[in-house]
């Protein structure tokens, strides 16, 4: 249990002339009632989100407006849609600002929330944001033609969800409980918002990572870049070897023939890899050269744990041991698990 509600009421009472509030969800009756009392002597401006949960307090909002307060909404009706008003702060008399994660709901009092006085350096920016948002916002009741119909839909959805979850019996009558609805709605939004942010973060990270890898691959195939002794992609002045491009040919079209000099060929390759690259540990097993190491082409991409197997007369087989890479239309991986190294160009 936190004490932010009582602190917020103290902050409101400390005002002399003006109170400006931006908050996503505003359903706390105690804070609303205190604002109604203060609206007789203060200029009050409130900005909320367009979430339908705020409609539950439409009678308080109407009373506030009757007392001269300005109440507007901005953005989408759900944090999952983007363009959502998600700020929570108070500006008092243009002189101080308070804010954090605390929404003005009864449920917020039982959460681990933050609400503190902001540094004076943040005040002007916060005031400017509030002014811009209020100018872009619309009246709270804009687009709401039939509040009773909206409330009935909310209540019906609430009851049906409870029945589906087994909380109430299908044939048992139940009354709509606003506090329970608000609590469940907040929990759903919080969970959904976290999932949404996580999904989008991973999606954006994947897009950025893919683009970085594409640029790295393009650099490798250019004449100005090559591979360093550490296995990184570097400019021409530090290159120890240029990458080889496989186009198929004999190794792809013909089965491998047994060679009596497999071991000597593997030793030849081992000698040059040991001499050229310090990022690999090499070993010869049954005539096959095994190279193991960690590669990070550029600092912006992942480190890859790699195993390369070379058998004379055949193309090298490159296995990415970690992180796990799955085959796709863009990444060709053979059933045995090694990468396709052929250039289709």
Residues 14 and 125 both lie in one domain: yes
**Tens digits of per-residue pLDDT, 231-258?**
777 766 666 676 666 655 544 444 455 5
End-to-end C-alpha distance for the chain, whole angstroms: 65
Model confidence at 227, pLDDT cuts 50, 70, 90, reads confident
Same structural domain, 129 and 229: no
- Same domain assignment for residues 13 and 130: yes
* Residue 315 belongs to a domain: yes
Q: Residue 135: CB partners within 8 Å, gap ≥ 6?
A: none
Q: Within 10 Å of residue 90's Cβ, how many Cβ atoms?
A: 23
Domain boundary among 139, 165, 197: 139
8-22, 181-195, 196-210: least confident range: 196-210
Whether 133 shows a pLDDT value over 50: the answer reads: yes
Measured distance CA(87)–CA(24) in Å, rounded: 6
DSSP string, 215-251: HHHHHHTSSSEEE-TTS-EEEGGG-SBPPP-B--THH
Domain of residue 77: give its range.
Answer: 4-139
Domain count, the chain: 2
Tens of pLDDT, residue by residue over 59-116, are 999 999 999 999 999 998 877 777 889 899 999 999 999 999 888 887 777 778 889 9
Question: Mind listing the pLDDT tens digit for each residue in 158-198?
Answer: 666 666 555 544 444 455 566 677 767 666 665 555 444 54
Residue 156 lies in a domain: no
CATH number at residue 71: 3.30.870.10
């Amino acid at each position: 249990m936190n004490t932010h509600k009582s602190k917020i009421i103290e902050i409101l009472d400390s005002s002399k002339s003006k109170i400006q509030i931006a908050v996503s969800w505003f359903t706390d009756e105690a804070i609303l009632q205190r604002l109604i009392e203060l609206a007789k002597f203060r200029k009050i401006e409130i900005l909320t989100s367009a979430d339908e949960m705020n409609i539950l307090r439409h009678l308080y909002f109407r009373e506030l407006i009757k007392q001269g307060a300005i109440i507007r909404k901005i953005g989408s009706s759900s944090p999952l849609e983007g363009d959502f008003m998600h700020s929570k702060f108070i500006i008092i008399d243009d002189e101080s600002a308070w804010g954090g994660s605390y929404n003005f709901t009864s449920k917020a009092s039982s959460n681990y929330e933050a609400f503190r006085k902001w540094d004076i350096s943040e005040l002007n920016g916060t005031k400017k944001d509030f002014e811009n948002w209020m100018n872009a916002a619309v009246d709270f009741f804009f687009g709401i033609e039939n509040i009773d119909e909206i409330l009935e839909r909310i209540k019906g959805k609430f009851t049906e969800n409870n029945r589906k979850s087994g909380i109430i019996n299908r044939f048992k009558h139940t009354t709509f409980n606003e506090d329970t609805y608000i609590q469940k709605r907040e929990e759903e939004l919080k969970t959904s918002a976290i999932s949404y942010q996580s999904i989008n973060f991973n999606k954006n990270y994947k897009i950025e990572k893919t683009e970085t890898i594409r640029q790295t691959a393009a650099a490798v195939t250019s004449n100005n870049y090559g591979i360093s002794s550490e296995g990184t992609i570097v400019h021409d002045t530090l290159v120890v070897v240029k990458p080889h491009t496989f186009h198929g040919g004999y190794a792809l079209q013909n089965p491998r023939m047994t060679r009596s000099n497999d071991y000597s060929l593997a030793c030849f390759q081992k000698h040059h890899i040991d001499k050229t690259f310090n990022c690999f540990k090499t070993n010869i097993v049954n005539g096959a050269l095994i190279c193991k190491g960690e590669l990070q082409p550029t600092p912006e991409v992942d480190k890859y744990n790699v195993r390369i197997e070379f058998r004379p007369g055949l193309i090298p087989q490159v296995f990415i041991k970690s992180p796990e890479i799955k085959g796709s239309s863009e990444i060709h991986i053979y059933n045995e698990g090694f990468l396709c190294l052929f250039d289709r160009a």
